[in-house]
Amino acid sequence: MRVRLPPDQHLDFGKMKHSTARNIQTGQSVAVQPRDAAVALNDPDVDRVADFLSDLLVELDSGLEPSTPNPHLRMILHLMRSHSEGRIVSPSSLVASAGVPYATATRKLAEVEAAGLIDRRARTRTGKSHSLHPSANLLEGFSQLADRIDRLARQSFGLAGPAPETTDYYFGGSYQPGRAAIAPPRALPEPLKLSGGLRILVHGDPTFMVMEGLKRQFEQIVGTTIHQRAFSIDRLREEALRNAERPKSRYDLIAVDLPWVGEFVEKGVIRPLDGVMDVARLDPADFHTAGWRAAHWDGRPYGVPSQTTPELMFYRKDWFANEGLEPPTTTDAVIAAARQLHNPQRGRYGVAWNAARGTALGHTFMMTCGAFGQPIIDMPRIAGGYDTDRLAQGGFTPTLNTDRALEAADYLMQLLDYSPPDILSMSWYERVRPYGAGHVAMAYGYTLLAPYFELNENSPAHGNTGYLPHPHGPKGNPIAPVGGYVLCVPANLAEERIDDTVEALVTFTSPGAQKLYAQNGSRTEPRYSVGADPEVRRLSPIFGLLDQMSWRDELQFWPRPPIPQVSDIIDLCGRELHDMLRGIVTPRDALDRVQSEAEKILKSKVT
């Protein structure tokens, strides 16, 4: 997917599975040795087994005489490896890979097709030229074979013994190594017929940039070219709103930040999914509850979770252990740990967080209020949080100058004393960079940013990071505010493009696609089944933790309720609270001003 970027946003995430993790904002490479990258990313088991079997066949054919070629297996391995690498396979190239005479190979190919292991897809309008792709049966069967071969190898060479997490259970299904993993995504039976290719508007974050590295694979899967434009968060919203004013949408799919859903529905930017597709095709029960519910407005789904990424507290386990400190589960514990670990003379700081003026700080303040048990509007309290099902009814009053909101503001003021010197300009990526570089003990960050240190073995935080829900205030509870994006169909998309766009939407958000993103560096997890996949769980502790947080009802989106006016309130909080952090106004005065302006914003009509 070719990524076109605004002048101020030069992103170059690159192909993470090919040994280079890129800094998203600067484009600077973080050196990772090829072997290290392979270990860190834990390349897909299916790919590793296909390579192993191919190499084994070469050794057997050349090392033992007499030997007989296995054309069936050779063709299957060639097909599987080409599918993974996004290479087109023609009947003639598959016949050539069989290693037997042409006539014999042709018969063997017919046998493989008759067994239902190959799908043919027309490459031209005449239908005389075809490409060959693994069928769903082959993908599923080979995935199970790969798992069994991996298990046999461990047993035979003394590597047996399940990891601790394999004794867990997911709705009655164990994570034992023998359990079948999610198969790779299959090619669509018919290529998408979208004039000019598939056009997608996205945010320039690691998960969407992983898709750049998978361009060839997904173009093979959907059968058309893919064009992706990536913007920073504020410019993404602006472009989506501009696009809605055009007679016809320039994009087939747009990525929508969860807090924008209500605004985009009320402004007619996106379509309800149940008006263009059978929503049951998405398997809604497989999505994390918070992520799926956040994609709804007034009871109707408007998007499909493409990434579910809660904001967590990252902390250096080794630093905490050396100082005899417990994990910081409360805000008081954060301040105490930050005070003890803060040592500017040695280039060490206590905590990094979003304190940059505007959108970044606005999000931080809302989520901090949530950690103190205070929603930003007067939502009814329910078990596990606050009721978000009736947000479309409106009529809310802001609650931004309550005692709990003041405690949240005071907490941010205390954090200032133990933050890096550039904290007031620190936003999404800047807070994670010094953490990954070993200069910060704790950092608030979305899981999607974890690749900065999880995939860089040279990072001091690599293998030394613990993950927690937001540390909570005296009257709050542990919560992990859910962030991320849903993929939506623009309301002004040309009717003739809708059906094929829906097919692309189902493909990009399927378990197989989500697993592929994780295997190539993403640390977001919209689906329970992906988190339960044993290959995915071996990639990072984040995946198992997300499932646990979901089961404990800690994944919540009420701290940033997707009301139509929320973007204006986020910007308001980000400006006024920044003046507070700079010492221009007191916390009480800042909150009174925020409350007064937010009341006017909520009374205004959204158009």
How long a stretch of residues is the chain? 607
Buried b (16+ CB within 10 A) or exposed e, 92-124: ebbbebbbbeeeebbebbeebbeeebbbeeeee
Query: In the Cβ-directed half-sphere of 102, how many Cα atoms lie within 13 Å?
Result: 3
Q: What's the DSSP call for residue 605?
A: P
Beta bridge partners of 198: 226
Task: State the Cα–Cα distance between residues 149 and 54, nearest whole angstrom.
Answer: 13
Quote the pLDDT of residue 159: 57
pLDDT at 428 over 70: yes
Instruction: Find out whether 290 and 426 touch, Cβ atoms under 8 Å.
Output: no
**Cα(352)–Cα(422) distance, rounded to whole angstroms?**
10
Mean pLDDT of 124-152: 78
pLDDT > 60? residue 321: yes
Distance between CA atoms of residues 294 and 260, nearest Å: 10
The two three-digit tokens of residue 211, written as one number: 């898709």
Angstrom CA distances, 173 to 57, 183, 412, 433, stand at 34, 17, 43, 38
Query: Which DSSP category does 287 fall into?
Result: B
Identify the weakest region by mean pLDDT among 51-65, 260-274, 509-523: 51-65
Which residue would you say has higher pLDDT here, 534 or 318? 318
Q: What angle do CA 427, 431, 436 make, to 5 degrees?
A: 150
Instruction: Specify the pLDDT at position 25.
Output: 33
Torsion angle, alpha carbons of 141, 147, 153, 158, to 10: -160
Identity of residue 429: Y
- How far is 189 from 352, CA to CA, in rounded Å? 48
Give the mean model confidence (pLDDT) for residues 172-190: 66
Q: Which fold has domain 310-482+556-603?
A: D-Maltodextrin-Binding Protein; domain 2 (3.40.190)
Burial class (CB in 10 A: 0-12, 13-18, 19+), 504: buried
Q: What is the pLDDT of residues 556-584, one digit of tens each?
A: 999 999 999 999 999 999 999 999 999 99
Strands (E), 149-233: 169-170, 173-174, 198-203, 226-231
Nearest to 335 by CA among 413, 447, 405: 413
Q: How far is CA 405 from the centre of its chain?
A: 30
Give the tokens for residue 432.
């994670």
pLDDT over 50 at 34, yes or no: no
Res 11 pLDDT > 80: no
The tokens describing 382, both together, are 């329910």
Q: Which of 39, 33, 15, 12 is nearest to 23 (CA)?
A: 12
Token pair 């069928």: residue: 135
Q: Is the pLDDT of residue 29 over 70?
A: no
pLDDT score of 368: 97
Rg of the chain's alpha carbons, rounded to an integer?
A: 25
Instruction: Write out the two tokens for 444.
Output: 């608030």
| Cα dihedral sign, 430-436-441-443 | positive
| 382, containing H or E segment | strand 381-382
Tokens at residue 540, please?
């990072």
| pLDDT exceeds 50 at position 166 | no
Q: Is the model's pTM score more than 0.95?
A: no
Let me know: does 419 contact 351? Beta carbons within 8 Å.
Answer: yes
Read off the pLDDT of each residue in 160-168 and give the average, rounded to a whole number.
43
The answer on pLDDT for 163 being more than 50 is: no
Q: Do 2-41+185-308+483-551 and 310-482+556-603 come out as alike in CATH topology?
A: yes
Helix, strand and coil content of the chain, in percent to the nearest 5, comes to 45, 15, 35
User: Which amino acid is present at 343?
Assistant: N
What's the rounded Cα separation, in Å, for the pair 73 and 531? Answer: 31
Contact at 8 Å (CB) between 14 and 22?
yes
Mean pLDDT of the chain: 85
Specify the fold of 2-41+185-308+483-551.
D-Maltodextrin-Binding Protein; domain 2 (3.40.190)
Measured CA to CA, the distance from residue 270 to residue 488 in angstroms comes to 6
> Mean per-residue pLDDT for 379-392?
90
- Tell me the mean pLDDT in the region 478-487: 94
Which residues have C-beta within 8 Å of that of residue 395, sequence separation ≥ 6?
none
Question: 301: cis peptide before it, omega within 30°?
Answer: no
* Residue 535 reports pLDDT greater than 80: yes
Share of residues in the chain with pLDDT > 70 (%): 88
Kind and range of the H or E element at 466?
strand 465-468
CB distance 212 to 1 below 8 Å: yes
* CA separation for the pair 550, 557 (Å, rounded): 12
How far the first Cα of the chain sits from its last, in Å, is 33
Q: Which pair of tokens denotes residue 541? A: 């502790």
Is pLDDT larger for residue 172 or for residue 160?
A: 160
Average pLDDT of the residues in 199-226? 88
Pairing of strands 304-316, 385-386: unpaired
Other C-beta atoms closer than 10 Å to the C-beta of 537 total 22
Query: What ranges do the domains of the chain cover?
Result: 2-41+185-308+483-551, 45-174, 310-482+556-603
CATH code given to domain 45-174: 1.10.10.10
Q: Give the count of alpha carbons within 13 A of 262, CB side only.
A: 23
Q: Provide mean pLDDT across the span 455-469.
A: 96
Tokens coding 606: 């959204």
Reported as a pLDDT band with limits 50, 70 and 90, residue 12 is: very low
**Residue 414 reports pLDDT greater than 70:** yes
Q: Pick the residue with more confidence: 495 or 57? A: 495
Lowest mean per-residue pLDDT among 100-114, 127-141, 359-373, 388-402 = 127-141
347 Cβ contact list (under 8 Å, min separation 6):
439
State how far the Cα of 351 lies from the Cα of 423, in Å rounded to an integer: 9
